Amino acid sequence: MQCIKNWLPVLCILFAGSCKKYLDVVPDNVATIDNAFKLKQEATKYLATCYSYLPASGDMQTNPALCAGDEFWMVAPFALSESPWKIAMGYQTATTIYMPGWSNMFSAFRDCNIFLDNINKVVDMTDAEKDRWGHEVKFLKAYYHWCLLRMYGPIPVTDVNLPISATSDEAQRPRQTVDSAINYIAGLLDEAAAGLPATISDRTTQLGHITKPIALAIKAKVLVTAASPLFNGNGDYAGFKNYDGTAFFNAAYDAGKWERAAAACKEAITACESAGMHLYKFDKLGLSLSDAMVTQMSIRNSVTEAWNAEIIWNNTKGSAGTTDRTYTLQRFAMPRLDPTKITNEMCLGSLAPTLKIAELFYTENGVPINEDKNWDYSNRYKLRTGKAAENEFITNGYETAVLNFNREPRFYANLAFDGAVWYMQNGTFNVQAKNGQLQSRKGNWDYNATGYFAKKLVNWKYVIKDAQELTIEDYAWPEMRLSDLYLLYAEALNEVNGPGTEAFEYINKVRLRAGLKTVQESWTNYSLQPAKYQSKDGLRQIIQQERLIELALEGSRFWDLRRWKKSFEELNKPVMGWDVDQEAAAYYYRPRLRYQQTFKTRDYFWPLDYWDLLGNKRLVQNYGW
């Protein structure tokens, strides 16, 4: 099992036995580095190496945020790594660590530092080119530190590479406090942003490179996270201290962190909008769609249409050893949708959103289903038949659960279900998922376990063909969208000043694109708690649910629940779905337990491997492990 064995990045030098092979290549590496920065062609390869450590965020096998939480459930996925589901099932221990380190970030630090130390040696590059590449790598270095911090909390900052002559004592770097590491990351992102362009000028050769809006948006996310309960006044970790007795977490709440976060969000929004970014709206020439369907497609394609104007950062990294960015993800999200291609078994539809997620989305009135005074919450598991007026959402004359009726547009854009209508470029399809029907279980592996399908993640140009062939438009993973940034800003503003005009402005921008009325209108007219939005606590709840809905199925929930310290609450709830093995609707639509999750306070962060603790006396194991 690969583990984060490079807590001391460059420098396995103190571990002479186990790192001997690595140590042996260092003297030869001196000449290699000189050669790597002699000419632009070779330096380009080194820049690509620095980018190569980016996580493949669209890979459900390696990105824990997709399948290691409570958003999806799968049954023993065949031919896939089961590591994310092992974490979701609570099997991780200090001796059995799943998905450790996410990628080898300490090697990334080393290569980024080497690049920054040597890029000015290249003789056939302009100073402007060197400067820009250097700022891109500064961003990458900051981002890699951020990836580790989200997973492990306090980390050793690797600002410079230690020389090969460093002593064993010098190489044993301790973890820094959370606040110190956050400040380092934010400062490095500021440095990076200062030298990055606002937009990509040459889309033929430079798509995927880092820009100023990307750097500022990630800084905003870092600082909002730093201001959130997991890192700001977390009393649960008050006794978690470094080897010298220094507390890793400041147990005292600091309101100034939210002010800093709000300022960073505003700066990022200004940079993004100045660069021409805006919330995506579907507009395809030659198509005549209803307003409701345009809204659905705007929500879906804001994620799956690569390089659209809403995406701040498209992560082009594919799965290890492949160029597959979302191809596999789409195969597992898409059911056997086309009834004329029933022998094609390439579409699995086994990436199944849970019943909890289906219940998360608002009613058509824009409020939670348990708050809407006009929605039949108590009978949500009863049956109802679709009507002709609803045939863009639910098959006319088809019997399905009340839960699936009269929901907001994002419900239908994100999810498909037994009785759902699924619009694609090559036609409109009806989903029928009860036992014996086309989208139902066909074997013991890779079947849909909950009765819901992840429509949002499937590009609308996906085509099921004859035999075992598919046409899938692979898209770069939307690491961050403008709607994400708007909601971060609304959250920070509410924490600073409570409900206010600007906070409502930015949450309502997102709601408007989703086809909903404003927060104020919706809660005043339809909620059982009409004054909820008027208090800081009430608006906080609204903003948090808005984020969980708007960014559903994109991996944001995994990290948001952690930073809000709500994972303990949510990941100790049962994982539920419909009784998918039943033929009759009356039996199919019974909530069925799929798994009882367990989450402990220690699980907010990954454990360190014992190898690291033995090798470095200054490292301290994470709380509870």
Q: In angstroms, rounded to a whole number, what is the distance separating the alpha carbons of residues 426 and 595? A: 37
Tokens at residue 440, please?
Answer: 């139902």
The pLDDT assigned to 157 comes to 95
The C-alpha angle 327, 333, 339, rounded to 5 degrees, equals 105
Topology of domain 12-282+606-615, CATH: 1.25.40
**CA 134, CA 138: separation in Å to the nearest integer?**
6
pLDDT digits (tens, 9 = 90+) for 328-370: 999 999 999 999 998 898 999 999 999 999 999 999 999 999 9
Residues 196 and 194: their CA atoms lie apart, in Å, by: 6
Q: How far is Cα 254 from Cα 89, in angstroms, rounded to an integer?
A: 34
Which positions ≥6 away from 443 have C-beta within 8 Å?
none
More confident residue, 79 or 412: 412
Residue 16, pLDDT > 70, answer no
| pLDDT of residue 37 exceeding 50 | yes
pLDDT band at 246 (very low <50, low <70, confident <90, very high): very high
pTM over 0.85: yes
Is residue 20's pLDDT more than 60? Answer: no
For 89-98, the pLDDT digits (tens) are 999 999 999 9
Hey, which bits of 45-156 come out as E strands? 72-73
CA distance 484 to 491: 11
Please name the residues in contact with 78: beta carbons below 8 A apart, sequence gap of 6 or more. 445, 446
Residue 552's Cβ-count burial label (10 Å; 0-12, 13-18, 19+) is buried
**222, 185 Cβ separation under 8 angstroms:** yes
Question: How much is the pLDDT for 102?
Answer: 57
Nearest C-alpha neighbor of 132 from the set 115, 114, 107: 115
Share of the chain above pLDDT 90, in %: 84
| CB-CB neighbours of 501 under 10 Å | 8
Mean pLDDT of 29-46: 85
Q: Which of 599, 534, 598, 535 lies closest to 565 in space, CA to CA?
A: 599
* Residue whose structure tokens are 């459930």: 73
Q: What is the per-residue pLDDT for 342?
A: 87
Q: 1-10, 218-227, 385-394: which has the minimum mean pLDDT? A: 1-10
What integer pLDDT is reported at residue 31 of this predicted model? 55
